Chains A and B, each alone.
Chain A
Amino acid sequence: MPKFETYGGSIPGVQLDELKGWLIVIEGTDGVGRTTHVSRLRAHLERLGYAVGETGLMRSGLASRGIRRAKQGNTLGNHAYNLFYATDFADRLEHQVLPALRAGFVMLTDRYVYSLIARAIVRGANPQWIKQVYSFSLKPNAVYYLRIGVTDLVPRVLVNGGFDYWESGMDIPMGEDLYDSFIQYQERVIQQLDSLAGEYNFQTLDATTDVDELAEDLCQRVTQLLESDQSKALESVEPA
């Protein structure tokens, strides 16, 4: 049985049984500390001897420039943005994630389709449609959802450079100013992520926990996952 499967769709020309490695997703809204935890996790896994790769939204060679350019003028409609993000995602899946998994890497992914689905739904996309669009994506081995409420999120965002236009949903203004819109928008995004958490089996972690404690918890969970897979693999090689 292949180690990986998709959410129902297919990736043309890709044999899923060639894929080894692990796909680990860190999800959570903007400013929750994903970047910190990804880099801690990476250092930890490399110490243990695992080869680690990283990817995140808008890092594709194909579409990231175009999306950035489009955002400057806020000139694309909702469907076009959603599909542009899907293009970026697919390019990274095929050019970053799949090669790493073929080579047996641990691929750490800073946000995955779930954030993209959540932001699309908040902007009015049909949930069924946007989930179908991403049905070609691989099911990760684990999704860790760093959960935070808006009240705890605001001070973090303020000390880290303030409210971002897009992360405040200013393209669909929801309040009088950036602050109001941020609160409204983030509440809806978090609400969507919460509902996806059940549907897609996230492991939800309280992101208001002390950063070192949370990092350790995360490292432990991932180590356990990798080691249990390794021992399973060994059993299948050595007959009892």
Chain B
Amino acid sequence: MTPSPPALEAGPRTYPGRLFVVEGVDGSGKSTQLTLLSQWLRSEGFTVVFSEWNSSPIVRATTRRGKKRMLLTPLTFSLIHATDFSDRVEREIVPSLKAGAIVLADRYVYTAFARDVSRGVDPLWVRSLYRFAPVPAEAFYFRIPLELALKRILSGRPSLKWYEAGMDLGLHIDPTESYRLFQAKIMEQYEQLAPEFGLTAMDATKAVEVQQRLLRQTVRRHLKGLYRRTRTYAEV
């Protein structure tokens, strides 16, 4: 048996499946949009696989340990998230794409680029870390005014976690104020990433159903030739 080839480092590879990504700051409504998209795609008979940021079962224990004990620095924060992501790429995303499925990712490499660079990590280095990641068919960036996003998050959440609020950056002693400043930095990064990686900007202030219509229109263009199953008896 020979070792498996270095998955994606040779540059963008194409797989039979399709990868769609939603990105944006907390409170931009991206997860709601992705859920609606997946319901539609499933009802159309496509095979849909969901992949969430920070969800590798094996790596998660370490991330949690690092966060709980405040062991993470900008460098190790970046690396442990890259570890988590690579595990998901190897075990979930690539196999699903090879199998011809639609993979929906709630946050992708762009989240790491935006967050880690906001924490002071070298932008080129963090991009090179993720070089093995498959290139999405389309990545949507949900653009929203900072104040609106903050209002949505801060009104519904009892307290912010240490790293979530960016407390490790020492921006402010008050977690809420720190969170504001951190989110502003992240948003600034997203605005740079959008043109750099050709992200499709979505106006996240529009009504949910209006955004969803636009999303489906764009996604539909990529679906030609994908496997669709006929309905099973249980579904009739």
A residues at B contact (CB < 8 Å): 9-13, 61-63, 65-66, 69-70, 75-80, 82-84, 86-87, 90-91, 94-95, 122-126, 129, 132-133, 135-136, 172-173
Nearest CB on A from B109, distance (A): 13
Partner of B119, one of A12, A75, A82: A12
Q: Is the CB of B76 within 8 A of A87?
A: yes
CB-based nearest A residue for B60: A66
Top 9 A-B pairs ranked by shortest CB distance?
Answer: A77-B90, A66-B62, A79-B86, A12-B120, A80-B87, A126-B9, A83-B83, A12-B74, A87-B79
Using A62-B71, A124-B5 as known contacts, say yes or no to A80 and B59 having CB atoms under 8 A apart. Answer: yes
| Interchain CA distance A77-B83 in the complex, whole Å | 10
Partner of B58, one of A9, A70, A136: A70
The 8 listed contacts between A and B (C-beta, < 8 Å) are: A70-B58, A70-B59, A79-B89, A84-B62, A86-B79, A87-B83, A90-B75, A132-B128
Indicate if B197 sits at the interface (CB-CB under 8 A): no
For the complex, count residues of B whose C-beta is within 8 A of A: 41
User: Which B146-171 residues have C-beta < 8 A from chain A?
Assistant: none
Q: Is the CB of A129 within 8 A of B9?
A: yes
Find chain B residues with CB under 8 A from A11 CB. 75
Name which of A69, A80, A91 has the most chain B CB atoms within 10 A of its CB.
A80
Partner of B6, one of A12, A63, A126: A126
| Interchain CA distance A194-B231 in the complex, whole Å | 59
Nearest CB on B from A177, distance (A): 14
| Interchain CA distance A52-B90 in the complex, whole Å | 41
Using A83-B129, A94-B75, A124-B3 as known contacts, say yes or no to A63 and B90 having CB atoms under 8 A apart. Answer: no
Using A9-B122, A12-B119, A69-B58 as known contacts, say yes or no to A79 and B75 having CB atoms under 8 A apart. Answer: no
Q: Is the CB of A62 within 8 A of B66?
A: yes
Find chain A residues with CB under 8 A from B208 CB. none
Nearest CB on A from B101, distance (A): 18
| Interchain CA distance A224-B91 in the complex, whole Å | 50
Q: Is the CB of A13 within 8 A of B74?
A: yes
CB-based nearest B residue for A10: B122
Find chain B residues with CB under 8 A from A95 CB. 71
Find chain B residues with CB under 8 A from A82 CB. 86
CB-based nearest A residue for B168: A13
User: Which B75-129 residues have C-beta < 8 A from chain A?
Assistant: 75-76, 79-80, 82-83, 86-87, 89-91, 119-122, 125, 128-129
Number of A-B residue pairs at CB separation under 8 A: 124
Partner of B4, one of A84, A124, A129: A124
| Interchain CA distance A87-B59 in the complex, whole Å | 11
Nearest CB on B from A120, distance (A): 10
CB-based nearest A residue for B90: A77
| Interchain CA distance A13-B76 in the complex, whole Å | 13
CB-based nearest A residue for B66: A62
Partner of A12, one of B3, B73, B89: B73
Find chain B residues with CB under 8 A from A91 CB. 71, 73, 76
| Interchain CA distance A173-B4 in the complex, whole Å | 11
User: Which B23-76 residues have C-beta < 8 A from chain A?
Assistant: 56, 58-59, 61-62, 65-66, 69, 71-76
CB-based nearest B residue for A93: B75
Find chain B residues with CB under 8 A from A133 CB. 128-129
CB-based nearest B residue for A8: B125
Q: Is the CB of B76 within 8 A of A77?
A: no
Find chain A residues with CB under 8 A from B86 CB. 77, 79-80, 82-83
| Interchain CA distance A125-B129 in the complex, whole Å | 12
Nearest CB on B from A173, distance (A): 6
Using A12-B73, A94-B76 as known contacts, say yes or no to A76 and B7 having CB atoms under 8 A apart. Answer: no
| Interchain CA distance A11-B9 in the complex, whole Å | 24
Indicate if B132 sits at the interface (CB-CB under 8 A): yes
| Interchain CA distance A89-B6 in the complex, whole Å | 22
Name which of B3, B65, B75, B120 has the most chain A CB atoms within 10 A of its CB.
B75
| Interchain CA distance A79-B7 in the complex, whole Å | 9
Q: Is the CB of A129 within 8 A of B131?
A: yes
Using A61-B71, A62-B62, A126-B9 as known contacts, say yes or no to A9 and B125 having CB atoms under 8 A apart. Answer: yes
